[in-house]
């Protein structure tokens, strides 16, 4: 008799509450739609796991039922939104924790720190990890330009991701510009805002994997092509609009030459940031390497995108970790960590 297969429940966000057992064949086959789920699903199968699929829109009953009737050994957590809101990403993970089943990726604590740009920066400053000087502006409170912060600034929603709310107008060079952009975020997006010093320099993405023993993968770099010097940021368009990327020659690649001392600093900063967050599993840091060669963390990305085309998987390949191996590693780290919670 062969070894009993490890049961993996792949849990992901779905625009609909399909019944349990729904196979998502059409959705996964669409290269513009659920390609991450498709990639991970195939990799899990190739690794010999017994995989069930569960997409959730806003019905947690489905997850409770699944766990009751076909309890998995581990949950592969690809949930990013619940009821179309990324605010609940941490809540969903907290819910999984309460089920007492091991799961992949960041804990609810990690996600809370990662998804609030103010919180992450406060934590990193305490640990003397360099972050840009910043000020948080909550809705219905006074907005002003603090003296200690130097223009130009970049103004962002406090708790968003994927560069939603970030365009060229996010860079401001005056107090009026700051006020205007903050009120756009408060009033039009209905979100709190953060303003921070604009750091000129190269944009790097660095993945760290591991529970105790950490692997820092080779940096990826976003090349800004022909974009002018004062507009070199990963706006929503620069990330997601293929035509715009092509027009300006924006692309993400393995990072070009970095001085040995910079590589050492990147590794050190990323490991310290990982431990400061009490991370395990995997994370991707967005980094700016300033024109003076200093390494700043722009933001941690707990549960970053892990389709084959994304930075994490591309960086892994550069270190001779195939996609299937990467997904297997993530499952093993989850099993090694075990269920979260008080013991």
| Residues at the interface with ligand ADP (CB under 6 A) | 117, 132, 154, 156, 160-163, 166, 196-199, 203, 233-234, 286, 288, 298-299
Nearer to Mg ion, 197 or 286 (CB): 286
Smallest gap from residue 269 Cβ to ligand ADP (A): 15
Cα–Cα distance for residue pair 263/133, rounded to 1 Å: 23
Smallest gap from residue 286 Cβ to Mg ion (A): 4
Nearer to ligand ADP, 198 or 274 (CB): 198
Nearer to Mg ion, 102 or 300 (CB): 300
List own/partner pairs for 144-147 with CB under 8 A and 24 or more apart. 144/175, 145/175, 145/178
Q: What is the CA radius of gyration of the chain?
A: 20
Nearer to ligand ADP, 2 or 228 (CB): 228
Smallest gap from residue 284 Cβ to Mg ion (A): 9
Cα–Cα distance for residue pair 32/26, rounded to 1 Å: 12
End-to-end CA distance of the chain: give it in Å, rounded.
34
Q: Burial level of 5, CB count in 10 A (0-12/13-18/19+)?
A: exposed
Strand partners, 109: none
DSSP per-residue letters across 14-32:
-SS-PPTT---HHHHH-TT
Smallest gap from residue 145 Cβ to Mg ion (A): 24
Smallest gap from residue 203 Cβ to ligand ADP (A): 5
Per-residue contact track with Mg ion, 270 to 309, x per CB under 5 A?
Answer: ----------------x-----------------------
Nearer to ligand ADP, 55 or 118 (CB): 118
Asked if residue 137 has a cis previous peptide bond (ω within 30° of 0), the answer is: no
What does 76 bind: ligand ADP, Mg ion, none (CB cut-off 5 to 8 Å by kind)?
Answer: none
Nearer to ligand ADP, 49 or 224 (CB): 224
Between the CA of residue 301 and those of 80, 149, 228, what are the distances in Å?
A: 12, 25, 27
Which residue of the chain is nearest Mg ion when measured via CB? 286
Q: Give Cβ neighbours of residue 264 (< 8 Å, ≥ 6 apart).
A: none
Nearer to Mg ion, 39 or 286 (CB): 286
Residue 282 has what DSSP assignment? Answer: E
Is the CA virtual torsion 111, 322, 37, 4 positive or negative?
negative
203 binds Mg ion (CB under 5 A): no
Cα–Cα distance for residue pair 239/274, rounded to 1 Å: 25
What does 203 bind: Mg ion, ligand ADP, none (CB cut-off 5 to 8 Å by kind)?
Answer: ligand ADP
Per-residue contact track with Mg ion, 219 to 238, x per CB under 5 A?
Answer: --------------------
Taking phi over 0 as left and psi of -120 to 50 as alpha, with beta for the rest, 84 belongs to left
Smallest gap from residue 292 Cβ to ligand ADP (A): 14
What does 154 bind: Mg ion, ligand ADP, none (CB cut-off 5 to 8 Å by kind)?
Answer: ligand ADP
Residue 274 in tokens: 């990982």
Nearer to Mg ion, 286 or 310 (CB): 286
Smallest gap from residue 19 Cβ to ligand ADP (A): 34
Residue 250 in tokens: 């924006």
160 binds Mg ion (CB under 5 A): no
What does 310 bind: ligand ADP, Mg ion, none (CB cut-off 5 to 8 Å by kind)?
Answer: none
Query: Comparing C-alpha atoms, which of 214, 242, 216 is closest to residue 309?
Result: 242
Taking phi over 0 as left and psi of -120 to 50 as alpha, with beta for the rest, 109 belongs to alpha
Smallest gap from residue 201 Cβ to ligand ADP (A): 8
Nearer to Mg ion, 63 or 289 (CB): 289
List contacts with Mg ion (CB under 5 A). Answer: 286
């Amino acid at each position: 008799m062969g070894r009993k297969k490890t049961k993996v429940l792949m849990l992901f966000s779905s625009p609909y509450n399909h019944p349990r057992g729904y196979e998502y064949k059409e959705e996964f086959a669409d290269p513009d739609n659920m390609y991450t789920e498709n990639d991970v699903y195939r990799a899990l199968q190739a690794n010999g796991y017994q995989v069930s699929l569960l997409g959730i829109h806003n019905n947690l009953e489905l997850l409770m039922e699944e766990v009751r009737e076909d309890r998995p050994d581990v949950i592969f957590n690809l949930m990013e939104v619940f009821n179309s809101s990324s605010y609940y990403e941490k809540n969903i993970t907290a819910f999984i924790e309460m089920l007492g089943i091991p799961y992949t990726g960041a804990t609810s604590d990690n996600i809370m720190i990662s998804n609030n740009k103010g919180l992450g920066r406060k934590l990193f400053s305490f640990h003397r990890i360099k972050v840009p000087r910043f000020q948080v502006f909550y809705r219905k409170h006074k907005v002003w330009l603090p003296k200690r912060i130097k223009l130009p600034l970049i103004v962002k929603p406090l708790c968003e991701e994927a560069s939603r709310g970030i365009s060229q107008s996010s860079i401001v060079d005056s107090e009026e510009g700051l006020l205007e952009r903050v009120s756009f975020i408060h009033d039009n997006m209905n979100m709190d805002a953060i303003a921070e010093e604009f750091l000129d320099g190269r944009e790097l993405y660095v993945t760290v994997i591991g529970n105790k023993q950490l692997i820092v993968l080779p940096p990826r770099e976003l090349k800004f092509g022909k974009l002018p010097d004062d507009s070199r940021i990963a706006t929503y368009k620069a990330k997601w609009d293929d035509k715009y990327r092509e027009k300006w020659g924006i692309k993400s690649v393995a990072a070009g030459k970095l001085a040995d001392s910079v590589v050492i600093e990147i590794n050190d900063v990323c490991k310290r940031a990982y431990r400061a967050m009490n991370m395990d599993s995997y994370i991707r840091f967005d980094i700016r390497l300033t024109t003076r060669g200093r390494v700043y963390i722009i933001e941690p990305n707990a549960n970053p995108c892990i389709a084959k085309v994304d930075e994490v998987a591309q960086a892994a390949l550069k270190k001779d970790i195939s996609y299937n191996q990467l997904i297997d590693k993530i499952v093993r780290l989850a099993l090694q960590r075990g269920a979260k919670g008080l013991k």
